[in-house]
Structure 1
Amino acid sequence: MRDSVSERLYRLSKVVKVLVKRGKLDEAKKLVLSQMVKYPDSAEPHNLLGIIEEYRNNHILAMKHFRAACDLDPTYAPARLNIEVFGGFDNMKNPVYNEDDIEVKPQKLYKMIYNKKGIGRFIK
């Protein structure tokens, strides 16, 4: 369960996602900046500002915010993924607003193969 600050920032990301999708970038930015003042050491507001700036076609400022989020919390995956998404050549992917937006792909580490007698074994 999230603590109160984490819960507030999580809800902020949900609200900002809706506002950005509706094209209300100014409203989203004001909301994020108000929370950034309350939580200056949090990575989440910088990540959200990076997304807003990407939608405003201000790529350099967006990347600075993503980088600031990573510097504040190196374990914050959404900012790291947004650097990959928007820093590459294929930046047509969806931004990562919070941990819920991260797609987890199952990895197949082992494969089952069978011999002529139907006896199976795992290989890497």
Structure 2
Amino acid sequence: MEEINYDQLHKYLHEAELLIKDMNFSAAKELLVKSLLINDRSPQVHNLFGVIYEYQGNKEMAMRHYRAANVFDGTFKPAIENMIRCSDNNCHGQKHPNFGADELSFEERRQQMQNGEYHG
């Protein structure tokens, strides 16, 4: 199995988050597609796609991506919080979505534990 370049992945995730906050969704989506090429099972990527669709008012697509993030990592709290918020019909309401770009996936935490690097 090929090793995932988490440094590059997180670089793209942070850049995409800034673009989303600037409402530049097309550029953010381009970075997220590049992120999927690094790790197509990244909960962070699917969560950020969900945030984009939520901001665009497409609750159905937002929920699909939040659920995908949850399928790939059932411990990824930002996606769980976003799913709960959207399922309560608060999607695109007063509460803002949890971007989660800084959150580590279960796989990243596991890898860091194996390398003796995890302190969280």
Same fold (TM over 0.5): yes
Q: Distance in 1 between matches of 2:67 and 2:51?
A: 12
Q: Which string of whole-angstrom CA distances, capped at 9 and with x for unpartnered residues, describes residues 36-66 of structure 1?
A: 1221122111111000111111110110000
Q: 1 or 2 for the larger relative contact order (CA 8 Å, sep ≥6)?
A: 2
Q: Name the counterpart of 1:108.
A: none
Structure 2 unaligned spans of 5+: 104-120
1:76 Cα deviation (Å)? 0.8
State the TM-score, normalizing by the size of structure 2.
0.71
Contact 1:77 1:99 in 2 (8 A): no
1:102-121 Cα distance to aligned partner (Å, 9 max, x none):
xxxxxxxxxxxxxxxxxxxx
1:92 and 2:105 correspond = no
Question: Could you state the TM-score of these two structures normalised by the residue count of structure 1?
Answer: 0.69
> Map of 1:68-83 to 2, 5 A cutoff?
68-83=68-83
Distance 1:95 1:40, change over 3 A: same
Cα gap change, 1:64/1:54 in structure 2, threshold over 3 Å: closer, same or farther? same
Residue 54 of structure 2 is matched in structure 1 by 54
Whole-Å Cα distance in 2 between the matches of residues 67 and 18 of structure 1? 23
Q: Match for residue 20 of structure 1?
A: 20
Identity of aligned residues (%): 30
- The structure with the greater share of residues assigned to helix is 2
Aligned letter for 1:73? D
**Structure of larger gyration radius:** 1
Residue 99 of structure 1 and its aligned partner are, at CA, apart by 6.7
Contact 2:14–2:101 (8 Å) recurs in 1: no
Aligned CA distance change for structure 1 residues 86 and 13 (closer, same or farther; 3 Å): farther
Q: Partners of 1:12 and 1:98 in 2: how far apart?
A: 13
Instruction: Provide the rounded CA distance (Å) in 2 between the counterparts of 1:7 and 1:95.
Output: 24
Q: Which moved more, 1:50-59 or 1:81-90?
A: 81-90
